[in-house]
Amino acid sequence: MGRAPCCDKANVKRGPWSAEEDSILKNYLEQFGNGGNWIALPKKAGLNRCGKSCRLRWLNYLRPDIKHGGFTKEEDTIICNLYCTMGTHVWSVIASQLPGRTDNDVKNYWNTKLKKNVLAGKLSDNTQVSVSTIPEEFGNSSYYLSADSAAGAFLPYVSDINCYYHQNHPAPQGMIFDPSANSNYGNKMTSTTQEAAAASSLSISSSSSTLENNYDLRSANGNVEDEGILLDDFDFEYSYELLNGFDFEKASNEVAQCLGG
DNA sequence: AAGGGAGGCAACCGCGGCTAG
DNA sequence: CCTAGCCGCGGTTGCCTCCCT
């Protein structure tokens, strides 16, 4: 036996909301709230709509704190970060990190714009990414990818496709992995992920453990010399050509597969 | 100027989780 | 414990607008 419908679909209005309906719903909710029952609300408010439709209209459009209009680069960065560390099933968590944005907004924005930009490698106008071998004194055959802070949108993309690192691989000699560093990009990511996970009652998945591979490069006096993601050859499944030339096309294809594209 | 395609976004659908009875 | 009903969510659809040919 299937679930009983929440309303009589044949006898409720569907499709776009009129200004009058918006006004009725907004006025009612501002005055009385939803009373903990969306299903009963339309009848009380005098609307010939499904309760779920009322809820959606309010949450996605009528709420006073909703932010309409284009997304900022900072918002792009947050969406990319969280999407690539937590995946597709947490739009609401991602939206919770963006004041005034709804899960529907974020989802639409990702599906129509951001995802294409990511796949095209067009993440940020001023993204500067370089790959170099780590100086020998820091360890052999390891690669260090650095990016400026404006390239935040790029970093999770990298960590997403390179999710094969050995979690317990020690930092190379001469490098100090400092998980308590305030300015550590990796820590910012970890913190955000933890908060998001806590907000959604999710446990942090194993994929987020790749964040442990974000390193600060520190000199002996403890100053941060650089920060980025350590790419180790131990469990790395991509060729060194990819790293040295950073083959965006190939990487994009990998991500496209990951995204089911 | 007109038609077709693409993009953007609001809205709907249906499922899983939760909870009250 | 079981069931029914509601809520919240992600996936999907369909309409409207804009742009290109």
Contacts of A106 (CB under 8 A, 6+ apart): A79, A91, A94, A95, A98
Classify the C-alpha dihedral A129-A133-A137-A139 as positive or negative.
Answer: positive
Burial-class residue A79 by CB neighbours within 10 Å (0-12, 13-18, 19+). Answer: buried
Q: Which of A83, A86, A72 is nearest to A110 (CA)?
A: A83
Beta strands in chain A (DSSP E): 129-133, 142-147, 214-218, 224-232
| Residue boundaries of the structural domains of chain A | 10-62, 72-261
Which chain B positions have some atom within 7 A of a protein CB? 7-16, 18
Backbone angles phi, psi at A144, to 5 degrees: -125, 125
Judged by C1' against the alpha carbon of A34, the nearest nucleotide is C7
Query: CB of A6 under 7 A from strand C?
Result: yes
Question: How many Å apart are CA A178 and CA A134, to the nearest integer?
Answer: 18
Q: What CATH number has the domain spanning A10-62?
A: 1.10.10.60
- Tokens 């932010």 correspond to A67
Contacts of A158 (CB under 8 A, 6+ apart): A145, A229
Q: Specify whether the CB–CB gap between A134 and A172 falls below 8 A.
A: yes
Q: Which residues 101-120 of A interface with strand C at a CB distance below 7 A?
A: 103-104, 107-108, 111
Under-50 pLDDT residues of chain A:
1-3, 122-261
- pLDDT at A37 (0 to 100): 83
Which residue stretches of A97-142 are H helix? 103-109, 115-120
- pLDDT at A33 (0 to 100): 83
Question: How many Å apart are CA A231 and CA A162, to the nearest integer?
Answer: 8
| Residue A78 falls in which region: left (phi positive, over 0), alpha (psi -120 to 50) or beta | alpha
Query: CB of A55 under 7 A from strand C?
Result: yes
Q: Specify whether the CB–CB gap between A44 and A33 falls below 8 A.
A: no
- pLDDT at A231 (0 to 100): 35
H helices, E strands: number in chain A: 11, 4
Separation of CA A101 and C1' C4 in angstroms?
33
- pLDDT at A84 (0 to 100): 63
Protein footprint of strand B, defined by Cβ closer than 7 Å to any strand atom: A 2-3, 9, 14-17, 50, 52-53, 56-57, 60-61, 68, 104-105, 107-109, 112-113, 201
- Tokens 């096309």 correspond to A249
Query: CB of A89 under 7 A from strand C?
Result: yes
- pLDDT at A102 (0 to 100): 86
- pLDDT at A65 (0 to 100): 80
Q: Specify whether the CB–CB gap between A17 and A57 falls below 8 A.
A: yes
